[in-house]
Amino acid sequence: MEDSPKILNSSSKISRFATCTKDCYGACVYMGIWDDNKIDHPLLQTIPSKKHPFTQGVFCAKYTNKIGSLYHNSRLHVPLIRQAPKPCQNFKEISFSNAWDQLLMKLKEIYYQHGADKILAAFYSGNTGLLSQFSPLRFFNKIGALITTGGICNEGGIAGLRQMFGTYSLSHPLQITNPETRLLVIWNSDLTNNNNHAHLLVRKAQKNGLKVVVIDSRETKIANQSDFFLKITLNTSHLLAIGIIKQILQINGENHRFLFEHVDNWNSVKQIIEKVDIIEICNKIGVSLEQLQSFASLLVENISHTLFLIGYGTQKDRYGGYFVQFIALIQVVLGNIGKPGAGIIYSLSDHRREIRERIIEEITFNYSHTLNQNNSLEIIKLANILQDHEIKMLFIYNFNPASSLPNQNLLRSVLKREDLFVVVLDCFLNETCAYADLIFPMKMAPETNDLVSSYYMPGLSIIQAGPCPYTSCLSNHEFFNRLGLDFGNQIGWSSSILKQFKISSEQMVRNCMKILKPQQRKEIEKNGYVLFFNPDETFFTDLQFPTSTGKIQLHSFMEYFIHHHELFLKILQKKPGDFYLYTPHHPHFIHSQLGEINSQFNSDFLKVFLNPLDIVSIDSRVGERVKVSNQFGEGIFILEVMPSLGREMALIYSGGPNRNPSSLNANHFTNSIPEILGHSGSYFSGTVHISAVKSEKER
């Protein structure tokens, strides 16, 4: 399967391959240097792979301190049991055997009294290891429990692109440095803070003459490094795209042959776009007609040599999947698909997806979680699932819903039900732990054997487990293996079923590796990773797409114009004095993780940021307390200035490390209504009202 860990010298130092499993673009492959004889801190050094063509031998600034996180003094070492009503900050340490007995007793009680369909497993991608995510499903599938489906992040854009192309993986980031790429359009993607490896590729390509256009609602660092920047109103990307397409049509810049040969239903969409009032669009998106015309001309000048990179924030609106479709339509109109130096970069998890699916089936014993399309179990609706299905026992792993899901007031009110027994598996205390009855400490990624399938760089990488110094910590695979054996023995499972829970993580990884071709296995053994494509490869050069006709489909655009466009324009008209709510990730955090090693930025999550002119408009000053409110919640924040923001935008960072269950986070103000096409989170769909908090004397 893999080379044995390498002995570096006559001492006890050993090198092992590892992969960062945080839910981010990088999935950095690195070498860990271990001293297995050290009792407290066996991981000595982490060295990012210089061979990897995307990560290029660097970590992201958010998580360079992997060792500091691994052995942080606030890491959970022993199980905890709740000692007060939910939400609870009073937990008692108990022995693993005591916690395990209580878990088995409660599980058996609910299983027999209420049935397995009152037991729910909720997980997401706090750890992107394939064993970490999917091996627990063997247990939940065998007992007949419910399992959440879907996601909260980029599913809207995925669904939108799939409707058009039959896939959402149309190009890859290494095309950024292709000599044929002359123009790169970065649409709503803060590369510097959230995708530093792509940013490195961009800066390298700029030195060789690449022109860069940035479109965003705030002026990011990459915007300042661009050749052309369009600062637009939040949630108006598709209106900008419509305006650009109309300008392209007016100068006869469309690729007629491409549209005729490879696109269905173009003429119907074209007729609607030609009738659009371009001045009205400019007013709504906040750019001038001259800017629109200049951008359209630049696109036509670089036809067949323009690459689009679309950020995931684009689709965090109720109509976000449609937004991504309209952006992609620009490239379709220009014929910039299936050519070197052209295309659309979004998510790459659909490229050679069959390999990942076969691995998941191996891990779950032929139970493919991704094929479960039960809409009533979509994770974005966790509060509704718990209520509607009358769930009695909830397992949460790789997930912090009390931070990351929308409409926190609703979710937390359901999580604190006394008749809901909540088991949380995690490495650190977080917001969700306040609603747990039992908390089990878990191993961190470098201490587990696992495989990682990156969503931004098609391929597979490996983690070779180093020793964990905390005896009560298990990996997800180990935890649910043990639960399957102990619970299965209690309820009389056959020996053939129990055998499924005796397989070690080392053996599971070996079995999964057999799915790969021999050369692919050798690549992993040699480098710690393998790519499922050639770095110089261009996708869909034959222009045959996995749709019903083999052509690009545009029927969903008609659905949008008929059923949604007018409603969207009404929603866009916010009330006077309200602000569009923008809740991006913090530059030093990944979702709600890394608070332990980046605690110097914790105060940023207590602030609401406005454009300087907006601070004047609400008659307040920087540093003052203000009330933020909407139909979902209200709370007090400290007012702070952010000149890079567009007007009438309020920024509150999401994913903060505020572990106090009474603390607010950005998602106390976000809408739980999911995005339409992919049913992910529509986090940027709402508005908030901001008002000064007057002192007693002023009142």
* pLDDT tens digits along 495-526: 999 999 999 999 999 999 999 999 999 999 99
* pLDDT tens digits along 182-223: 999 999 999 999 999 999 999 999 999 999 999 999 999 999
Q: What confidence score (pLDDT) does residue 374 get? A: 64
Do 668 and 687 belong to one domain?
yes
Q: What confidence score (pLDDT) does residue 371 get? A: 43
| Boundary-marking domain end, from 464, 497, 531 | 531
**Looking at the domain assignment, is residue 489 inside a domain?**
yes
Q: What confidence score (pLDDT) does residue 453 get? A: 97
> Tokens in use for 331?
């490239």
Do 183 and 280 belong to one domain?
yes
Do 383 and 502 belong to one domain?
yes
Do 343 and 401 belong to one domain?
no
pLDDT at residue 699 is higher than 60: no
Q: Which of 397, 185, 217 is nearest to 303 (CA)?
A: 185
**Looking at the domain assignment, is residue 260 inside a domain?**
yes
**Looking at the domain assignment, is residue 555 inside a domain?**
no
Rounded mean pLDDT of 636-646?
A: 96
Rounded mean pLDDT of 666-680?
A: 94
pLDDT at residue 2 is higher than 50: no
Do 334 and 357 belong to one domain?
no
> Tokens in use for 363?
């891990």
Is the previous residue joined to 87 through a cis bond, with omega within 30 degrees of 0? Answer: yes
628 and 635 in contact (C-beta within 8 Å)? yes
Rounded mean pLDDT of 70-81?
A: 97
Do 602 and 670 belong to one domain?
yes
Rounded CA separation 217/233 (Å): 6
Structural domains of the chain, count: 4
Rounded mean pLDDT of 674-690?
A: 94
118 and 390 in contact (C-beta within 8 Å)? yes
Do 242 and 212 belong to one domain?
yes
Rounded CA separation 697/699 (Å): 5
Rounded CA separation 105/491 (Å): 12
Q: What confidence score (pLDDT) does residue 11 get? A: 64
> Tokens in use for 260?
């005729």
CATH classification of the domain holding 633: 2.40.40.20
Band (573; pLDDT cuts 50, 70, 90): confident
Q: What confidence score (pLDDT) does residue 9 get? A: 55
Rounded mean pLDDT of 36-50?
A: 96
**Looking at the domain assignment, is residue 639 inside a domain?**
yes
pLDDT at residue 3 is higher than 70: no
Concatenated DSSP letters of 405-436: SS-HHHHHHHHT-TT-EEEEEESS--GGGGG-
Model pTM score: 0.95
Q: What confidence score (pLDDT) does residue 370 get? A: 45
Phi first, then psi, for residue 128 (nearest 5°) are -90, 5
From start to end of 20-111, where are the E strands? 29-35, 43-48, 80-82, 91-93
Do 116 and 136 belong to one domain?
yes
Percent of the chain with pLDDT over 90: 90
Rounded mean pLDDT of 144-156?
A: 93
How many other C-beta atoms are found inside a 10 Å radius of the C-beta of residue 117? 14
* pLDDT tens digits along 440-475: 999 999 999 999 999 999 999 999 999 999 999 999
* pLDDT tens digits along 158-190: 999 999 999 999 999 999 999 999 999 999 999
Q: What confidence score (pLDDT) does residue 120 get? A: 98
Rg (CA), the chain: 26
Do 119 and 255 belong to one domain?
no
| Boundary-marking domain end, from 52, 70, 88 | 70
pLDDT at residue 247 is higher than 90: yes
pLDDT at residue 259 is higher than 60: yes
Do 345 and 374 belong to one domain?
no
**Looking at the domain assignment, is residue 229 inside a domain?**
yes
CATH classification of the domain holding 306: 3.40.228.10
Do 252 and 387 belong to one domain?
no
Q: What average pLDDT does the structure give for the chain?
A: 94
**Looking at the domain assignment, is residue 601 inside a domain?**
yes
Q: What confidence score (pLDDT) does residue 656 get? A: 80
* pLDDT tens digits along 279-288: 999 999 999 9
Count CA within 13 A, CB hemisphere, residue 604: 20
Rounded mean pLDDT of 238-263?
A: 97
* pLDDT tens digits along 521-570: 999 999 999 999 999 999 999 999 999 999 999 999 999 999 999 999 98
Q: What confidence score (pLDDT) does residue 229 get? A: 97
**Looking at the domain assignment, is residue 544 inside a domain?**
no
**Looking at the domain assignment, is residue 568 inside a domain?**
no
Do 194 and 325 belong to one domain?
yes
Rounded mean pLDDT of 37-46?
A: 95
| Boundary-marking domain end, from 349, 365, 387 | 349
Percent of the chain with pLDDT over 70: 96
Rounded mean pLDDT of 674-698?
A: 86
Q: What confidence score (pLDDT) does residue 373 get? A: 54
Angle between helix 555-563 and 320-334 (nearest 10): 130
Rounded CA separation 192/441 (Å): 33
Rounded mean pLDDT of 127-144?
A: 97
Concatenated DSSP letters of 353-376: HHHHHHHHHHHHTS--GGG---GG
Pick the residue with more confidence: 698 or 411? Answer: 411
Domain residues for 456?
Answer: 80-153+353-531
Band (664; pLDDT cuts 50, 70, 90): confident
Band (5; pLDDT cuts 50, 70, 90): low
pLDDT at residue 81 is higher than 90: yes
